[in-house]
Structure 1
Amino acid sequence: MPEVIFPGEKGRLEGRYQPAKTRNAPIAIILHPHPQFGGTMNNPVVYNLYYQFANRGFSVLRFNFRGVGRSQGSFDHGTGELSDAAAALDWAQSINPDARACWIAGFSFGAWIGMQLLMRRPEVEGFISIAAPANLYDFSFLAPCPSSGLFVHGDKDAVVPTSAVQTLVEKLKTQKGIVIEQQVVPGANHFFDGKTEDLMGVVGTYLDKRLPGTRKDSKDSAA
C-alpha cells in the first residue's frame, strides 16, 4: 500500500495507491467523509472499499482531501474538494495511460463529491455511493446520471433519512439505459458502526455482478 503525494490545486495531496498487475486495468478512486467531522482516507469504510477494488484487479487510489492529514490547503465546502478528486483521477490516469475505465466510490460527503466528479468525467463507468447525504446537499446535478451504480444506506441512519436516499434513487431510476440499484443494510447507522462487514458484503456482491470473474482474495484485505 504505497504512500503517494500528488499535486492538487492548493498544493500537495496525500494518498495511498495500490497498482494493478495488468496495464489496462481499470482505476478506482475512493473518497472519504466530511473533513470537518473527522473524515479521512483511513476511515474504516474507505479503507475496506479500497480493498474491495484492489482485490478485483483495479489500480486503486484513496487520498485525503485538502487540509486533512498531510494534504495541503484548507476545507472549501465541496468546491475545492471536487477539484481534489479531479486531481486524484488525473494523477491515477497519468500513471495508468492504458486504463480502460474508471469507477468512483464515495462515503457520505465523499459520495456527494464522487457523484459530481462522475458528471464531469465520461470515462467513469460505475459508482458506489454509501450513505449519500441526499438531505444535506443538492444532488439535482444528476440530470441525467451518466453511469450505472449502487447506492447503499443503513436503515438506522440518524443523519440522512432513508426516505431522502429513496427519493433520489427513484428519480434516477427513470433514465433509460442506466441501472441504479439501492441496498439497505439492516441495523446500520450513518457510519456503519459494527456493520462494516455487512456493508462490504453488499458492495462485493454488486461488484462481482458488474465485474464477473475478477475477485481475488488477498491476505492484506480487511474484514
Structure 2
Amino acid sequence: MSNESSRSAPTEFPRESASFLLPGPVGDLEVACEPAETRAKSPPAGIAVICHPHPLHGGTMHNKVVTIIERSLRELGLDTVRFNFRGIGKSGGTFDEGEGESDDLASVVRWARTVRPEAPLWLAGFSFGSYVALRNAKTLDADALITIAPPVGRWEFDAIDLPDCPWLVVQGEEDEVVDPQLVFDWVESLDVSPHLVRMPETSHFFHRRLMDLRGAVKNAMRAYLPKANDPA
C-alpha cells in the first residue's frame, strides 16, 4: 500500500493508506487513514476514529497501543482514522486540557461522516485519548466506544454524560500510570454497564501484551459488527 500525503483532505475515504492535513479549530490536524482489511470482500463495517495518549507525555497517533487498536479494528472490517491532537506532529495549536482536543476530535469526526455518511461511527482511545473519546461519545452519537486504560483519578470522569452504545473498557492490573482499582471501582459504580476486560500482569503501555490487547478488542467488539462483515 502506498502512503500518500497531501495538504488537502480527500473528499472520499482513501482506498489505500493515506495521510493528510485536515483544517481544524486552531490550525491543521495531521490525519492518517487505513482502509478495512476486508474491503476487497465486503463493504467496510464502519469507520473508527482513534485518539492518542497525553500530548505532553509523548503521546502521538504513532503510539504502539494506538496502532494496535487501529490494526485490531481494521482487521475486524472497519476503516480507521488516527490523528494528532493540536500541537503534536504537524497539527497546529497547543495543548488545551482536553477541551480543545475535544474540538479536534469533533473536526475529525465531521470529516469522517462527510466521506462515509452512512457508516456506523466507532470511537476509541488510549489513556488521555480514552478520556477525550468518552467525554464526547454521546455528543458525537458514537455507535460503539473503546476505552483503553481510562485515566480515572487523573481527569474528571464524574461529570461525563455517558453513552448508551456498546462500550469496551480494557485495564491492565499492573498499570503504573492509572490506578487499576480506581478504574474497576468506577466501572462498578456506573449506571450503564460497559464490558470490562481486566488484563493481569499488564502495565500501562501493554509491554509484551500488545497481541493480547489486539485479541481482547477483537473478541469483545466482533459481536457489534454487521453479520456480513464478521470475519471468520
TM-score range, shorter chain: 0.7 to 0.9
Looking at structure 1, the residues matched to 112 and 164 of structure 2 have their Cα atoms a distance apart, in angstroms, of 21
Alignment of 1:69-148 (within 5 A): 69-99=89-119, 101-122=120-141, 124-148=142-166
Segment drifting more, 27-36 vs 16-25: 16-25
Aligned partner of residue 187 in structure 2, secondary structure: helix
Q: Which of 55, 59, 65 does residue 85 from structure 2 map onto?
A: 65
Q: Which of 178, 203, 216 does residue 202 from structure 1 map onto?
A: 216
Aligned partner of residue 204 in structure 1, secondary structure: helix
Looking at structure 2, the residues matched to 162 and 186 of structure 1 have their Cα atoms a distance apart, in angstroms, of 11
Q: Which of 26, 36, 42 does residue 46 from structure 2 map onto?
A: 26
Over the residues paired in the alignment, what is the CA RMSD in angstroms? 1.8
* Corresponding residue of 2:229: 214
Aligned partner of residue 219 in structure 2, secondary structure: helix
Letter of the 2:229 partner, please give it.
T
Q: Give the conservation status (yes or no) of the 8 Å contact 2:44–2:77.
A: no
Q: Give the conservation status (yes or no) of the 8 Å contact 2:134–2:162.
A: no
Looking at structure 2, the residues matched to 205 and 42 of structure 1 have their Cα atoms a distance apart, in angstroms, of 23
Unaligned runs of 5+ in 2: 1-16
Q: How far apart are residue 7 of structure 1 and its match?
A: 1.1
Q: How far apart are residue 213 of structure 1 and its match?
A: 5.9
Q: Give the conservation status (yes or no) of the 8 Å contact 2:53–2:126.
A: yes
Unaligned runs of 5+ in 1: 218-223
Looking at structure 2, the residues matched to 113 and 68 of structure 1 have their Cα atoms a distance apart, in angstroms, of 16
| 1:16-64 deviation digits (Å, cap 9, x = unpaired) | 1123546674111000000000000000111111121112221210010
Aligned partner of residue 28 in structure 2, secondary structure: strand
Q: Give the conservation status (yes or no) of the 8 Å contact 2:48–2:80.
A: yes
* Corresponding residue of 1:189: 203
* Corresponding residue of 1:163: 181
Could you say if the C-alpha distance between residues 209 and 25 of structure 1 is closer, same or farther in structure 2, counting changes exceeding 3 Å? closer
Q: How far apart are residue 93 of structure 1 and its match?
A: 0.9
Q: Which of 44, 55, 63 does residue 43 from structure 1 map onto?
A: 63
State percent identity of aligned pairs.
35
Looking at structure 1, the residues matched to 21 and 231 of structure 2 have their Cα atoms a distance apart, in angstroms, of 27
Q: Give the conservation status (yes or no) of the 8 Å contact 1:24–1:98.
A: no
Looking at structure 1, the residues matched to 102 and 76 of structure 2 have their Cα atoms a distance apart, in angstroms, of 26
Aligned partner of residue 80 in structure 2, secondary structure: strand
Q: How far apart are residue 144 of structure 1 and its match?
A: 4.3
Q: Give the conservation status (yes or no) of the 8 Å contact 2:76–2:218.
A: no
Looking at structure 2, the residues matched to 57 and 207 of structure 1 have their Cα atoms a distance apart, in angstroms, of 11
Letter of the 2:218 partner, please give it.
G
Q: Give the conservation status (yes or no) of the 8 Å contact 1:118–1:146.
A: no
Looking at structure 1, the residues matched to 176 and 75 of structure 2 have their Cα atoms a distance apart, in angstroms, of 32
Looking at structure 1, the residues matched to 162 and 31 of structure 2 have their Cα atoms a distance apart, in angstroms, of 31
Looking at structure 2, the residues matched to 143 and 41 of structure 1 have their Cα atoms a distance apart, in angstroms, of 26
Aligned partner of residue 55 in structure 1, secondary structure: helix
Letter of the 1:181 partner, please give it.
H
* Corresponding residue of 1:149: 167
